[in-house]
Amino acid sequence: MKKTILCSLVMLLTTFSAHAIDVTLTTDEGYNNPAMVQKLQNNLAALLTEINAAYDQKRNLNFASVSIDDKAKDELATLWDITRFRCDDDEVVDRLWPLQNGSFYLRQIPMILDPDGEVVKESKFQEVSVTFDRSGRIDEFRFALDAQLSESMEKCGDVVSTERRMIILQFVERFRTAYCRKDINFMNQIFSDDALIITGKMMMPKPNDMGQGNAKVVYNRQNKQQYLSNLRRAFLRNKYIEVHFSEIGGGSESNSNCPGITQSRNNPNFYGVRLRQEWRSSTYSDDGYVFLLWDFSDEAHPVIQVRTWQPTMVSMGNGQKQKLAEEDIFNMSSVEDLITEEKK
């Protein structure tokens, strides 16, 4: 009994010995609930302080002082197993987004990733996003899109409301974090049963009489089960996977220079997001353009109907490369043409 009490006391003292992190959350003038804001600040501060304590003491996370649901605990524990991280700031200041369903969302919590030396040679900066339920309990913790990208997704796209953009942003973040967590179950849920997956691959032709031969991009079509089967093997094969999204939008589908998220003219429930994706893993790396066609027919459970990938650079022979032409990169119009072809 004495030993148990002593162990508990030691754990309590070591937790409090960690440098406490202060959290300040700002809101729009239209939101006026200081008691809830204070509750969210205290809860997030408790989580960040515990993360730093666990990092310093080289132990697993202890959520005794944090109001967090089981799902978020599992998400955090999985990320913690893959890579350790810490908050390097004494004070975290972030904007709080109250959503119409009563939940709360914030997306720019600074973290330093410091995984196993065999995985990444140096610490890396990474922002984290957190969602709270209407009671102030943490119900999601995931790697965020970088600040510039998330700001673009938040502000761009005349035909998409701010609320819908924020929801799409959250699902894109969940999608990216699922790669890092090697979460095949999430991937199975997020892809529609009849999803179309298109992946470009560089093919080098035989050289001509001049010793030259321009490469071309050949596209491979997969259904959901084929894609998940290949992804499952990649998850098992790689000790770590890092996915980074950047360069939101592009193309000429909007008069704006910042088209961001595009809404289908044919189906109001379809939204498209084009991103540049950098994939880094222990066995393979690539850099390409990803287009995701999201179906929000079920508002609470949107699914990906189409995912395309194309390399950012194509070989021109003699070791020369050039960026994939803008007109050759998939957008909402070209992806919807693909869907039409599939239905014929």
- List the structure tokens of 220: 């491979």
Q: What's the pLDDT score for residue 142?
A: 85
Helical spans, DSSP H, in the chain = 2-17, 34-57, 70-82, 147-155, 162-181, 184-190, 224-237, 332-343
Statement: the pTM of the whole predicted model exceeds 0.85: no
What is residue 295's predicted lDDT score, i.e. its pLDDT? 94
Q: Print pLDDT tens along the chain (344 aa).
A: 444 444 444 444 444 445 789 999 999 888 899 999 999 999 999 999 999 999 999 999 999 999 999 999 988 888 888 788 899 888 999 989 898 888 999 888 888 887 554 444 445 778 888 999 999 999 999 887 765 555 555 555 545 666 777 788 888 888 988 998 899 999 999 999 999 999 876 655 555 555 455 556 678 899 999 999 999 999 999 988 888 888 776 544 443 444 568 889 889 999 999 888 999 888 989 999 999 999 999 988 899 999 999 998 877 666 677 888 888 889 898 898 888 887 76
Q: Which residues contact 98 (CB under 8 A, 6 or more apart)?
A: 27, 31, 104
Q: Which amino acid, 136? A: G
Return the pLDDT at 328: 86
Work out the burial of residue 203: count CB atoms within 10 Å of its CB; fewer than 13 is exposed, 13-18 middle, 19 or more buried. exposed
How confident is the model at residue 152, as a pLDDT?
56
Exposure on the CB side of residue 41, measured as CA atoms within 13 A: 18
Identity at 208, one-letter amino acid code: N
Between the alpha carbon of residue 289 and those of residues 80, 110, 188, 274, 342, the distances in Å are 29, 26, 22, 7, 22
Determine contact, residues 304/224, Cβ cutoff 8 Å: no
Quick one: tokens of 132?
């709270």
Q: Which residues contact 138 (CB under 8 A, 6 or more apart)?
A: 43, 44, 47, 66, 67, 68, 69, 72, 130, 131, 132
Residue 245 in 3-state DSSP? strand
Three-state DSSP class for 186? helix
Question: Phi/psi at 292 (nearest 5 deg)?
Answer: -115, 125
pLDDT of residue 7: 46
Q: d(Cα 195, Cα 339) in Å, to the nearest integer?
A: 10
Q: Which of 281, 301, 337 has the alpha carbon at shortest distance from 192? A: 301
Beta strand pairing call for 313-317 and 303-311:
unpaired
Q: Six-digit token pair at 224?
A: 């959901």
Angle between helical axes of 162-181 and 70-82 (0-180°, round to 10): 50
